[in-house]
Chains A and B, each alone.
Chain A
C-alpha cells in the first residue's frame, strides 16, 4: 500500500524531518522547559526506545529523568501515578499497543478517575505514549489499534497525530495537559517526513480540534492517525471519477470535535469514517452515530464505515488484506451514490455489490 505525502507549506529553513524526530524534539523541549517532566518505560534509556523516540534523552537529562524501568507495564503506570501525585509530569512509554494491556487496571481504575475520585484535588498530568496500529509487518501483538478501549474510558484524553507538525504540537500539548492523555503514535507514520524545523515548530491547535486536511464538495472522509494519508490518496484518486472529497483529520478522539466534523458533513452531505481498528464496536460506530444525530437532514446517504475486519489483528503476511486501503475507501465512496438501494432493501444493495467483487 502506498501512502500519499501530507501537503505542508514549504517555509524557509525547513528540512525534511520524520514524525519520529518531531516526537523526540517534543520530549526534549518539554524536558528542557519543565524539570518535572520525566520519561519512563522499557528500554527508553540508553537504547532510546525500540523506535528510538527517546533517543539521547537519558544522556542529556540523566537516568533519573529518562528511566529504564523494570519490565512491568502495570508497575510503570502505577508508579507514574504516584509520581504524578507528588507533582511530577511523567511521560510513560508503552513499548507496543498490545503490551499496554497489563496496565489497563491502573489506567482505567486510577489514571482516568483520580481527578474525579478526589473531587479535583488530585489531577493526573500523565502522558501515556503508545505506538499503535499496523502496516509495519509486526508479528502478533505488535499491530493493535486499541483506541476504542481508551475512548470508552471517561477521564482520558485520546489523541493521535498524522503529520510531523502535529506529532510535535500534540505531544507538547499532551505533556502540558493537567489531565491524562493517551497519546497514540501511528507507528507506520514514524518515518513519514515533512518539511519541518525543530527550531521553529509551528503552532498546533489545542487538544480537541480536528482539521480539514483537504477541502472538497461531494463527500467527507472522517479519519485520523495512520488512515489520514490513505484518505488523502483516495481523495486524489477519486478526482478522476468526478468526486471532490473533503478529508477531516480528527487528531483528537476525546474530546471529539463535533463542530468541525458536522460543519464538513453539512457542506458535503455524505460521510465515510475510515480507521484501522475494528468496525464492530469500533470508533466509527460512535462517529457515525454522532454525525447522524446532528446532521440527519443534511445527509444524502447513510454514514458509511471503512474499518479493519472484526478479527484479532492478522499475521503480517495477511495484514494488507485487513487494513483499509485506498480501494476500500473508494468503494465506500461509490456506495454513497446508492442510497436508494441501501435504504429500500436493507442489507441487499451493499452485499450484492460486494459479492460482485466490486472491492
Chain B
C-alpha cells in the first residue's frame, strides 16, 4: 500500500534527533516590555542605585548634547546621538563587573564612558584623529564598531576563550534593530548558544535603522523572539526604564556568569534625535511621533520615582547638573585643543614589523614631511 492511496493516514515518525530538544515556552519573551518604574514592583529598588542611575543619565544626556554641538563647530566629524536611549546605555555600562568585556557599536559612547573610558578618548573615532582612542584591554571595552553586527561574534569568541581559560568573564554585546538583520547577528547567537558562551546580547530597538522603520526590518513578533530559534531565552524590556534595564541586564550577566549561557535582550526605546548630526529625520517621521516618545523620556520616568520617594532634592538635581556641566566644559576645552598628530603613525601599526614595502613608503612620507618643514622654515 502506498502513501498516496491512503491520504491522511500516513504519519511519519521522525528519528529522535529531529524532535525539538527543549520546550520553547521558557525561552519566549514577555508579551509586553518589562517595566519597573510606575509599577508597585519598583518599591524594591535600592535608593542608592536610583540616585547613581540618575546622575549617570543626566551626565549622559549632557554628553550627547555637547558632542552634537561639537559637530556643528567642526570639532567632531560626526556624532550618532543616543539621546532618549541613555537608560540602555548607562545600564549596559553599569551591569558589568570590572573583568567583564563590553562590545559597543558606534552609537554606544555613553556605555563606553560609563565603563570608565576617558570621555575624550571615547570620541577619537568620531573626531577622526585615529580609529580607536583607548586601549581596549585597559577597560575591557572593544573598539567602537562601525560595520553592523560584526562585533557580536567577537564577543562570543572572547567569552568562549575566557571560559576555556577558566576565567570569570562575561561579554556584553550591543547592536541596533537594523543590525539584527545582518548574518553576523545570526551567526553570533548560534555560536553563543551552541557553545553556551557567557554572553549577553543587547538589542537597542530605537525604531529606525537610519530611515527604515522596524516593520521593514523584520516580520518577527519582537526582536527578542529571535532568541527562541537558537535555544536561548529572550527578554523584552522597556528601554527607557533605567531600573528595569539595570535589573534585566544584571540578571542576564549573572546568569551567564553562573554558566547559564547567553541571553538576548531587546530594549524598546526611541532615537529622539536624527540618526547622526548629518541626517534629516523629518524625511521619514513626524514630529507627533517624536513628541509622544519625549513624553516617555527616561530621565523624566526616573525623576518621577525619585520625587515620589522624596529623593529628588535640590541638592541631588544641582549636583547632577553641575557634574554634567563640569564634564561638558572639560570636553569642550580638550576638544578645542588641536590634536597632536604624527602622520608617521600611519605606518606604525599595520604589522608588528614594517614590511620592506612599508619601509620604503614611510621613507617617502618622511622626506615629504621634512621638505614641508624646510619650506616653512624658509618662509
Which residues of A line the B interface, CB within 8 A?
A: 38, 64, 69-70, 72, 74-75, 77-88, 90, 102, 105-106, 109-110, 113-123, 154-155, 157, 177-179, 208, 254-259
Does A79 contact B157, Cβ atoms closer than 8 Å?
yes
Specify which of B136, B162, B187 lies most central, judged by the most chain A CB atoms within 10 Å of its CB.
B187
Nearest opposing residue in chain B for A112, CB measure = B350
Which of B61-69, B188-196, B369-377 contacts its partner?
A: B188-196
Which residues of B, 166-196, contact A by the 8 Å Cβ criterion? 169, 171, 183-184, 187-188, 190-191, 194
Does A86 contact B162, Cβ atoms closer than 8 Å?
yes
Which of B7-15, B34-42, B142-150, B244-252 contacts its partner?
A: B142-150
Specify which of A75, A119, A157, A258 lies most central, judged by the most chain B CB atoms within 10 Å of its CB.
A75
Which residues of B line the A interface, CB within 8 A?
A: 130-132, 135-137, 142-143, 147, 150, 152-162, 164-165, 169, 171, 183-184, 187-188, 190-191, 194, 345, 348-352, 355-357
Given contacts A78-B153, A82-B156, contact A254 B130 (CB under 8 A): no
Nearest opposing residue in chain A for B148, CB measure = A105
**Interface of chain B, main secondary structure:** helix
Does B153 contact A85, Cβ atoms closer than 8 Å?
no
Instruction: Give bound CA distance, A87 to B349, whole Å.
Output: 18
Does B131 contact A82, Cβ atoms closer than 8 Å?
no
Which residues of chain A are near B184, meaning CB under 8 Å? 74-75, 78, 105-106
Nearest opposing residue in chain A for B190, CB measure = A70
The smallest beta-carbon distance between A84 and chain B, in angstroms, is 8
Inter-chain CB contacts under 8 Å: number: 140
Which residues of chain B are near A81, meaning CB under 8 Å? 153-154, 157
Which residues of chain A are near B350, meaning CB under 8 Å? 115-116, 154-155
The smallest beta-carbon distance between A348 and chain B, in angstroms, is 35
Does B352 contact A78, Cβ atoms closer than 8 Å?
no
Which residues of chain A are near B142, meaning CB under 8 Å? 85
Instruction: Give bound CA distance, A268 to B143, whole Å.
Output: 50
The smallest beta-carbon distance between B359 and chain A, in angstroms, is 10
The smallest beta-carbon distance between A227 and chain B, in angstroms, is 22
Which residues of chain A are near B132, meaning CB under 8 Å? 117-119, 121
Specify which of A105, A109, A254 lies most central, judged by the most chain B CB atoms within 10 Å of its CB.
A105
Which residues of chain A are near B162, meaning CB under 8 Å? 86
Instruction: Give bound CA distance, A154 to B361, whole Å.
Output: 13
Which residues of chain A are near B150, meaning CB under 8 Å? 78, 105-106, 109-110
Does B345 contact A119, Cβ atoms closer than 8 Å?
yes
Partner of B187, one of A78, A82, A85, A115: A78
The smallest beta-carbon distance between A231 and chain B, in angstroms, is 24
Does B355 contact A82, Cβ atoms closer than 8 Å?
no
Jot down 5 A-B pairs with beta carbons below 8 A, ordered by A: A78-B152, A78-B153, A79-B160, A82-B171, A118-B136
